[in-house]
């Protein structure tokens, strides 16, 4: 591409940031729509977060993504927050408008769009969610906002599940449980959609969350992990005639929502997915 004095600058801050897929995905999106912009990685150590954000503002960087470990800490450096970011307590996208920074969290909307593109509507549905970490906050909030019947949350660390229940309880019917085989077995009898937000399944040495042979036939099973593309949970679900969805769609759509916030243009979702698939698989 040709960089001129008019080229807009976007980026991502994180530490580490080397493995981020966002530069590939957002660069492809700008190219596809012929937008005169670049998107670059910025490695920012935790102790430099404040000065980095000041610098991004001073340099008139138009927008940036935020990744580990800055998603929560950045909030104190921003001027405004979207409702989602406020509830979730984490920001993954920032827009710079004349030096005023607004923080957004696009994971929630990204997750819902990834279900909708697969024809899954969660309104009125019974949900079993594993995990109570950062990802669970965004996924749980998005499901409640869509009007699920109830959200059963199972987590290994029960006090963390409690915290999540307290946070999300005002948006709908949230019930929390410890991760125990017998408990999960009972919950599996009353479910339409199972979602894994934990990191279990990332490594092939990981334990199983529960006995996957107990997954009811025909329910929808979602894993927000995208690499590997098929976790043991999804493999078992597929064998039981379940519709399965991995995390690639969520990755694509959280980026697509960010792109729309920055540019006001409809994101080239298929192009973004294609470059990620080429990079990952």
Pick the piece of the chain touching ligand ATR (CB under 6 A) from 1-9, 12-20, 43-51, 151-159: 151-159
Report d(CA 101, CA 79) in Å as an integer: 5
Which of 11, 14, 63, 134 is close enough to bind ligand ATR by CB under 6 A?
A: 134
Write the binding mask 75 to 114 for ligand ATR: x where contact by CB under 6 A, - elsewhere. Answer: ----------------------------------------
- CA gap 172, 164 in Å, rounded: 12
Q: Where are the alpha helices (DSSP H) in the chain?
A: 22-32, 49-58, 83-88, 107-116, 134-145, 158-168, 181-187, 232-239, 248-263, 269-280
Could you say which DSSP state residue 91 is in? -
The pattern of x and - marking residues 171 through 210 that bind ligand ATR according to CB under 6 A reads --------x-----------------xxxx------x---
- Per rule CB under 6 A, is residue 133 in the interface with ligand ATR? yes
Q: Is 73 near ligand ATR (CB under 6 A)?
A: no
In order of 8, 98, 103, 118, the CA distances from 58 in angstroms are: 14, 10, 17, 42
The residues facing 150 across adjacent strands are 126
What does the DSSP 8-state code read for residue 267?
A: P
Nearer to ligand ATR, 8 or 75 (CB): 75
Q: Which range in 131-139, 144-152, 228-236, 241-249 contacts ligand ATR by CB under 6 A?
A: 131-139
162 is annotated as an active-site residue: no
* 207-221 per-residue burial string, b: 16 or more CB within 10 A, e: under 16: eebbebeebbeebbb
User: Rule CB under 6 A: is residue 232 a binding residue for ligand ATR?
Assistant: no
Q: Does 160 bind ligand ATR (CB under 6 A)?
A: yes
Tell me the closest approach of the beta carbon of residue 45 to ligand ATR, in angstroms: 20
Cβ 106 to ligand ATR shortest distance, Å: 15
Min separation Cβ 122 and ligand ATR, Å: 20
- The least CB distance from residue 193 to ligand ATR, in Å, is 18
**Residue nearest to ligand ATR as judged by C-beta position:** 133
Q: Does 264 bind ligand ATR (CB under 6 A)?
A: no
How far, in Å, CA of 132 to CA of 117, rounded?
Answer: 25
CB 88 within 8 A of CB 110: no
Which of the residues 6, 45, 62, 71 is marked catalytic? 71
DSSP state of 208: P
Question: How far is residue 212's CA from residue 63's CA, in Å, rounded to a whole number?
Answer: 42
> Which amino acids are annotated catalytic?
71
Sites of contact with ligand ATR (CB under 6 A): 131-136, 155-157, 160, 179, 197-200, 207
């Amino acid at each position: 591409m040709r960089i001129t004095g008019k080229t807009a600058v976007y980026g991502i801050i994180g530490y580490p940031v080397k493995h981020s897929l966002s530069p590939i995905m957002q660069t492809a999106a700008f190219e596809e729509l012929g937008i005169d912009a670049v998107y670059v990685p910025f490695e920012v150590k935790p102790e430099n977060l404040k000065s980095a954000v000041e610098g991004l503002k001073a340099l008139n960087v138009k927008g940036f993504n935020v990744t580990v470990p800055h998603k929560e800490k950045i909030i104190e450096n921003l001027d405004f927050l979207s409702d989602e970011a406020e509830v979730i307590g984490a920001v993954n996208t920032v827009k710079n408008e004349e030096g005023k920074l607004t923080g957004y969290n696009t994971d929630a909307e990204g997750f819902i769009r990834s279900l909708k593109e697969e024809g899954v509507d969660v309104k009125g549905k019974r949900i079993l969610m594993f995990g109570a970490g950062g990802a669970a906050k965004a996924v749980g909030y998005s499901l409640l906002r869509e009007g699920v019947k109830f959200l059963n949350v199972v987590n290994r660390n029960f006090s963390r599940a409690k915290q999540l229940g307290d946070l999300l309880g005002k948006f709908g019917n949230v019930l929390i449980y410890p991760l125990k085989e017998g408990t999960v077995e009972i919950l599996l009898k009353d479910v339409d959609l199972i979602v894994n937000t934990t990191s279990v399944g990332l490594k092939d040495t990981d334990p199983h969350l529960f006995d996957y042979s107990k997954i009811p036939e025909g329910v929808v099973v979602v894993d927000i992990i995208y690499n590997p593309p098929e976790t043991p949970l999804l493999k078992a679900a597929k064998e039981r005639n379940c519709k399965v969805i991995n995390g690639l769609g969520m990755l694509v759509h959280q980026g697509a929502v960010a792109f729309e916030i920055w540019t006001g243009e409809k994101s080239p979702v298929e192009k973004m997915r294609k470059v990620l698939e080429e990079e990952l698989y």
